[in-house]
Amino acid sequence: MAWTFSGVFLDGFSGERVVAGTGDPEELPGRFALAGLVDAHAHPTVAVDRHGPYLADGEYGAARLAEYAARGVTVIRDTGGRSQVTLGFARTAAAGHPVVTAAGRFLAPANRYFPRMHAPVEPDELAAAIRAEVAAGAAWVKIIGDFPRWGADGPVPQSTAATYDVGTLRQAVDAAHAAGARVAVHSNLPDSRLTALGADSIEHGRALGHSELEALGARGGAWTPTLCAMLANRDSPDPEVRKPVDELRERLRDCLPYAAARGVRVLAGTDVVGTIADEITLLADHGLTAGQAIAAAGSLARDFLGVHPEGDIVTYDDDPLEDPGVLARPAAVVVRGVRVR
């Protein structure tokens, strides 16, 4: 089927009519269209049980990719997972599944990440581990830049610290760049110096301040604030739980528009929590315009990732620029010419 659409084109499209696929033409339902959505911080092989997150298998990952697609996500950046599976997804995009650009394994030393999610990488092994991952097909590498110490009963409260020293991180970033990959760093501490070391994207970035955002923006770096995850307790009935979340929300309402105005590529990423529609809505609730929030999961993200698939269309009955909540209800989704919804 050749899917056609001739309503209102929003972010990512130019022109008055699009066609995706081949064969007999059929007009898609809906009145507004985007050229697909991008989830820039996704973990298709990470599942969660009562003990926390763990690495799942390829069957689980494939089912997750189908879920992303049904929600209008046509491109994902995998930011860590079961490397053999995610690098396979990146090599060959299945019909109706999003295009995947993948980071391969999580890079963290012993006792500094979820134990079921990684094989530890000590500082003197980091550069070699990065070269191996890129040689296996990783376009990104994912470094856990800081994390709580992992004790016998799980994360130790108030123990968040840098996982690798600055010299090790500098060598790691240089090794990734020399091998042709980019670097995403999980970072939640202030003044991490990651920006100065050349990290390409800061993940979460709970403590990013104005000076770091200026440096990141000056060289076109990205920030994926993963608001669904960072603000997961925003509706808690317990005021003690809500208080730090409310403080973070105030900071974000200042820092997100500041970042966007200084050239930081703010990206939408759901981590393992929520949906892309929720993430875009939260970005728009914390200082970005609806247009900026949609571009964070659209044209801006595709440009930053350098991934531009042909034949992606997601349509809606109502205008997501008026209300991003509309994004939760696509009228139709076409992924590289294949209609999946």
Contact between 65 and 101 (Cβ < 8 Å) = no
Contact segment (CB under 5 A) with Zn ion among 48-56, 88-96, 214-222, 267-275 equals 267-275
> What is the number of residues in the chain?
341
Amino acid at 230: M
CB proximity list for 126: less than 8 A, separation 6 or greater? 107, 143, 164, 168, 171, 172, 175
* Shortest Cβ 205–Zn ion spacing (Å): 12
- Distance (Å, rounded) from C-alpha 295 to C-alpha 282? 14
Q: In terms of CB distance, is 7 or 81 closer to Zn ion?
A: 81
DSSP character at residue 129: H
Instruction: Give the nearest residue (CB) to Zn ion.
Output: 271
Instruction: Find the part of the chain contacting Zn ion (CB under 5 A) among 84-92, 130-138, 270-278, 326-334.
Output: 270-278
**274 or 291: whose CB is closer to Zn ion?**
274
Distance CA 95, CA 111 (A): 39
Q: How far is the CB of 55 from Zn ion (least distance, A)?
A: 13
- What Å distances lie between residue 187 and 149, 217, 223, CA to CA? 14, 17, 10
Token code pair at residue 160: 């968040």
The DSSP bridge partners found for residue 49 are: 52
Closest CB to Zn ion among residues 46, 294:
46
The site for Zn ion, by CB under 5 A, has a size of: 1
Which of 125-133, 189-197, 216-224, 264-272 is the region at the interface with Zn ion (rule: CB under 5 A)?
Answer: 264-272
Task: Tell the smallest beta-carbon distance from residue 22 to Zn ion (Å).
Answer: 37
The tokens for 118 are: 């990684």
Q: Which of residues 99-128 bind Zn ion (CB under 5 A)?
A: none
Instruction: Considering only the stretches 25-33, 85-93, 114-122, 265-273, report the one whose residues sit in contact with Zn ion under the rule CB under 5 A.
Output: 265-273
Instruction: Choose between 146 and 271: whose C-beta lies nearer to Zn ion.
Output: 271
Q: Tell me the C-alpha distance between 338 and 95, whole Å.
A: 7
Is 271 among the residues that bind Zn ion (CB under 5 A)?
A: yes
Q: How far is the CB of 89 from Zn ion (least distance, A)?
A: 16
Q: Does 78 participate in binding Zn ion (rule CB under 5 A)? A: no
Instruction: Write out the residues near Zn ion by the rule CB under 5 A.
Output: 271
